[in-house]
Chains A and B, each alone.
Chain A
């Protein structure tokens, strides 16, 4: 599983790194630090990744199944 943040849609609510602190963190402006990036999600991180995606008020986070 991979997690992608759409940087054009993210406006920095901060819900994702709050509910998934072991997975995500913030930058100096308060946006998640991986805007416009895709990161690999280990199986033990899956629950946090799903929480992060579901908590985003902008629906900026997508989870992508591995090929």
Chain B
């Protein structure tokens, strides 16, 4: 694999300290060669357990498994009011993502059944059929750009059908998602497009709500209608709440799976022995996907806002300061995992924080896993052998947002 180390400004050379931690000046937003973000996370994690990053308005970085886990598991101390440490006062409010206890669980109760394993199992036959069709279109070409041709298109089509939106809207949603995550890392030049995408998604759903206003009951398989008839503590949800929910579902549901699928398929392109194994033992596919979520974690890190003055893993934190749990470093922490730095396709008892931890555990986790399992299975059934096509070195979008390969050119022999 190509996770080559690169020159980073890790804590090793830090000359000053703050709160007993090395001070670094790191902007995680820029695009880099693929794998560089994980190399940087490893380097930071092994050099120190915590840093103060004086980039932007400044925030603390915790690099190791147990601290990241405890940030996630202690919402009374680490609020989700902002999840981007470079932007402590975001212009958006995602529900339930940015809601703290006790209200958080009440929103989750509304949404959980919609994204439950049962709902995903019921959808699996049409998920497979859709994927089989997309791969069948690609297979005779002998090459593709995996990210654009499948990795974003497929989760978008699945998600839209899952929430009751016509799949013909896919292109529109793909553009929203790209523009939003272009600005999510804090790149100032991309903030206007990000704001426009947020507004575009909101406008779409506002029109959808208006169109359903007279419905006496939710339409079959229609999430917007379901939310309009759902109750929060015995009162209906407000339009603002519903829009705050639908907006984040679109953003979280499409981009993350694209990112994760890209790294999974770069791995399979590079590892013929793993392709063979999954073809011979398809029952191992869920395991291979789970290990990809651990080892190729697209969540570089996750932010929280400190709710009161305290000391955490020896670091003095003040109310209102931001912390950043380096999830990608934690998921490869050798203090917690055996063979932490290896992709072990038949690893047993896999657990990881790729879907976060604690109360904000990813709502769409069951759907995301199934989407990935379906794509791996359906692709290998039609294209068992493939490789990376010659290209410029692969690059990945910055770690402020979710990591994602910009493109992934693949090729294979046709009719062999």
Taking beta carbons and an 8 Å cutoff, which residues of A are in contact with B? 11-15, 17-19, 26, 28-30, 51, 54-58
The answer to whether A12 and B361 touch (CB under 8 A), given A30-B117, A30-B366, A51-B348, is yes
Is there an interface contact between B117 and A55, defined as CB atoms closer than 8 Å? Answer: no
Interface residues of B in 338-362 (CB under 8 A from A): 348-353, 355, 357-359, 361
The residue in chain B whose Cβ has the minimal distance to the Cβ of A52 is B349
Is there an interface contact between A57 and B112, defined as CB atoms closer than 8 Å? Answer: no
Interchain CA distance A57-B118 in the complex, whole Å: 21
- For residue B226, CB closer than 8 A to chain A, the reply is no
Interchain CA distance A29-B286 in the complex, whole Å: 21
Interchain CA distance A11-B353 in the complex, whole Å: 12
Taking beta carbons and an 8 Å cutoff, which residues of B are in contact with A? 73, 109, 112-113, 115-118, 286, 348-353, 355, 357-359, 361, 365-366
- Which residues from chain A contact B352 at a C-beta distance below 8 Å? 57
Is there an interface contact between B357 and A26, defined as CB atoms closer than 8 Å? Answer: no
- Which residues from chain A contact B348 at a C-beta distance below 8 Å? 51
The residue in chain B whose Cβ has the minimal distance to the Cβ of A56 is B351
The residue in chain B whose Cβ has the minimal distance to the Cβ of A19 is B349
Interchain CA distance A12-B112 in the complex, whole Å: 9
- Which residues from chain B contact A15 at a C-beta distance below 8 Å? 350-351
- Which residues from chain B contact A14 at a C-beta distance below 8 Å? 117, 365-366
Contact partner of B357 among A29, A54, A55, A57, CB < 8 A?
A57
The answer to whether A29 and B366 touch (CB under 8 A), given A19-B349, A55-B349, A57-B357, is no
The residue in chain A whose Cβ has the minimal distance to the Cβ of B357 is A57
Interchain CA distance A56-B355 in the complex, whole Å: 12
Contact partner of B115 among A13, A30, A51, A57, CB < 8 A?
A30
Is there an interface contact between B350 and A29, defined as CB atoms closer than 8 Å? Answer: no
Interchain Cβ contacts within 8 Å, total number:
52
Is there an interface contact between B116 and A30, defined as CB atoms closer than 8 Å? Answer: yes
Interchain CA distance A6-B364 in the complex, whole Å: 22
Interchain CA distance A54-B348 in the complex, whole Å: 9
Report the minimum CB–CB distance from B73 to chain A (whole Å).
Answer: 8
Is there an interface contact between B353 and A29, defined as CB atoms closer than 8 Å? Answer: no
- Which residues from chain B contact A30 at a C-beta distance below 8 Å? 112-113, 115-118, 366
Is there an interface contact between A29 and B113, defined as CB atoms closer than 8 Å? Answer: yes
A-B contact pairs, 21 of them (CB 8 A): A11-B359, A12-B112, A13-B355, A14-B365, A19-B349, A26-B116, A26-B117, A26-B118, A28-B112, A28-B118, A29-B116, A30-B117, A30-B118, A54-B351, A55-B351, A56-B351, A57-B353, A57-B355, A57-B357, A58-B73, A58-B357
Report the minimum CB–CB distance from B290 to chain A (whole Å).
Answer: 8
Report the minimum CB–CB distance from B124 to chain A (whole Å).
Answer: 14
Interchain CA distance A60-B355 in the complex, whole Å: 16
Report the minimum CB–CB distance from A24 to chain B (whole Å).
Answer: 12
Report the minimum CB–CB distance from A32 to chain B (whole Å).
Answer: 10
- Which residues from chain A contact B359 at a C-beta distance below 8 Å? 11
Interchain CA distance A15-B117 in the complex, whole Å: 11
Interchain CA distance A67-B365 in the complex, whole Å: 38
The residue in chain A whose Cβ has the minimal distance to the Cβ of B362 is A13
With A12-B361, A30-B112, A55-B349 given, name 13 new contacts (CB 8 A): A11-B357, A11-B358, A13-B351, A13-B361, A28-B113, A28-B116, A29-B109, A29-B112, A29-B113, A56-B351, A57-B357, A58-B73, A58-B357
Report the minimum CB–CB distance from B154 to chain A (whole Å).
Answer: 22
- Which residues from chain A contact B117 at a C-beta distance below 8 Å? 14, 17, 26, 30
- Which residues from chain A contact B118 at a C-beta distance below 8 Å? 26, 28, 30
Report the minimum CB–CB distance from A29 to chain B (whole Å).
Answer: 4
Interchain CA distance A37-B112 in the complex, whole Å: 21
- Which residues from chain A contact B116 at a C-beta distance below 8 Å? 26, 28-30
For A19, A30, A56, which residue has the most chain B Cβ atoms within 10 angstroms? A30
Which 7 pairs show the lowest CB-CB distances between chains A and B?
Answer: A29-B112, A57-B351, A54-B349, A30-B116, A11-B361, A55-B349, A26-B117
Is there an interface contact between A55 and B350, defined as CB atoms closer than 8 Å? Answer: yes
For B112, B349, B359, which residue has the most chain A Cβ atoms within 10 angstroms? B349
The residue in chain A whose Cβ has the minimal distance to the Cβ of B108 is A29
- Which residues from chain B contact A19 at a C-beta distance below 8 Å? 349
- Which residues from chain B contact A56 at a C-beta distance below 8 Å? 351
Interchain CA distance A14-B352 in the complex, whole Å: 12
- Which residues from chain B contact A29 at a C-beta distance below 8 Å? 109, 112-113, 116
The residue in chain B whose Cβ has the minimal distance to the Cβ of A12 is B361
Interchain CA distance A56-B353 in the complex, whole Å: 11
Report the minimum CB–CB distance from A3 to chain B (whole Å).
Answer: 15
